[in-house]
Amino acid sequence: MKRKVLVVAHGHPDFSKGGAEIAAYTLFQELNRRDDCEAWLLAANGIAGLQHTGTPFSARPREREMLFAGGTDYFLFSANNLSHLTQDFAELLRHIQPDVVHFHHYAVVGIEMLRVVRNTLPNAVIVLTLHEFLAICNRNGQMLKSNGSLCRNAEADPAECHACMPGRSPQDYFLRRQYIRSFFALVDQFVAPSQFLKERYVTWGLPSDRISVIENGQPSQPMPHASGTRASTATAHRFAFFGQITPYKGLEVLLQAFSQLPKADQKLARLDIFGGGQEMFEKEFQSRIEQHLESAHRNVQYRGRYAPEDFGRLVATVDWVIVPSIWWENSPLVIQEARLHSKPVICGDIGGMAEKVRHGHDGLHFQTGSAAALAETLQRCLHEPDLWGRLQSGIQAPPSIEMTADDLNRLYARRHQRA
């Protein structure tokens, strides 16, 4: 008999192209390719207008895909339209009768949906993939303090949270932690895409044996155009940044590093910036990015947004991928994609970045947040003979989506036997 799996995501790649949304949708597709599985997708999109039909849910043209008008507050992650959503979600669960409900988020979705599953289908297995640190840190889940320094308060000590974000009392932060933990207690098994993220949540209070480390799988084969032009070790001078342009992704650090290179190296190197989203942040941040780009050498080019399916074509035109994030990261999709396309990664020396890139083996680390340290690393790349070739030869392909689905199917089976 086929195992029924309902994948619940906080966004659909057709509307939001974040790593968690892509991971959830890719898993849904892979499970549906299997003869022993029937997967359904329920993805939030935050469009309140979907409720004009009297229900927050709507069907997609593709089979077993559904959208719902999600929305939560960002302190407790409580659903905005709780009574309506609870009733309709319970009805949907009774209709599908899934054996497993695999949540890929609770933000936008509504953390109360965990309890709806437990109350409606007591024997269903509840799995939750933790994609970042939102449950621990109310400051956008970044674990960065208001002064920009790294936060190591993985316990979410209420006094420390209040000192960082004084808009709420220590009691508020204490109750927030207890509230989220009460819903997490309903989850049968958590999935963390990195060991680093698992350790943070264990420190926060989750039992270690209830968190399985399973990476987000990538397509088995790169796109046909992915090989592109192959660099020689003497001319691997093409660098690129891929991703959302946010204050946390470190593009400012990267642009500062390039400006600190000797003039001869600025002429030798090329930096392409692929991404967007800066308009979602404060004007001051946007202005700083614009000023950096205006003053940069002509070999620094802003290429704008890109579609996920274009990554292979674009990365084929560069030699190095730079991930200069100033926060911890978890399991950055761009690192996995770069590995899939055999491109060495240059990244910060903390958290999920440092875990996924082996310094001196398949990429390079630099001191996180330091433009000077990154500039020194870039000079190594420009002038150290055979460095690119040595690192490129050490790259191992990331886990495929087939491998990830295999691991998750085994997890589903184990937990279902205990249910």
pLDDT digits (tens, 9 = 90+) for 334-369: 999 999 999 999 999 999 999 999 999 999 999 999
Q: What is the pLDDT of residue 309?
A: 86
Domains of the chain with CATH codes: 3-217+400-418 (3.40.50.2000), 238-393 (3.40.50.2000)
Nearest to 156 by CA among 202, 208, 207: 202
Q: Please give the share of the chain, as a percent, with pLDDT higher than 70.
A: 92
Backbone angles phi, psi at 333, to 5 degrees: -60, -35
Task: Report pLDDT for 380.
Answer: 97
Q: Which residues pair with 366 in a beta bridge?
A: 348
Q: What is the pTM of this model?
A: 0.91
Residue 17: pLDDT over 80: no
Q: How far is CA 257 from CA 24, 224, 261, 284, 367, in A?
A: 35, 33, 7, 20, 12
pLDDT for 419 equals 58
3-state secondary structure labels for all residues of 34-95:
CCCEEEEEEEECCCHHHHHHCCCEEECCCCCEEEECCCECCCCCCECCHHHHHHHHHHHHHH
What digits encode the pLDDT tens for the residues 167-197? 999 999 999 999 999 999 999 999 999 999 9
CA atoms within 13 A on the CB side of 153: 24
- The rounded mean pLDDT for the chain is 91
Distance from C-alpha of 154 to C-alpha of 249, rounded to nearest angstrom: 21
pLDDT recorded at residue 114: 97
Contact 271, 299 (CB under 8 A): yes
pLDDT at 227: 47
DSSP code string of 278-339: GGGS-HHHHHHHHHHHHHS-TTEEEEE---GGGHHHHHTT-SEEEE--SS--SS-HHHHHHH
Q: What is the dihedral of CA 228, 229, 230, 234, to 10 degrees?
A: -150
Listed range (28-37, 95-104, 220-229) with the worst mean pLDDT: 220-229
User: Which tens digit of pLDDT belongs to each residue from 275-331?
Assistant: 988 887 888 989 999 999 999 999 999 999 998 889 999 999 999 999 999 999 999
Q: Are 8 and 98 in contact (CB under 8 A)?
A: no
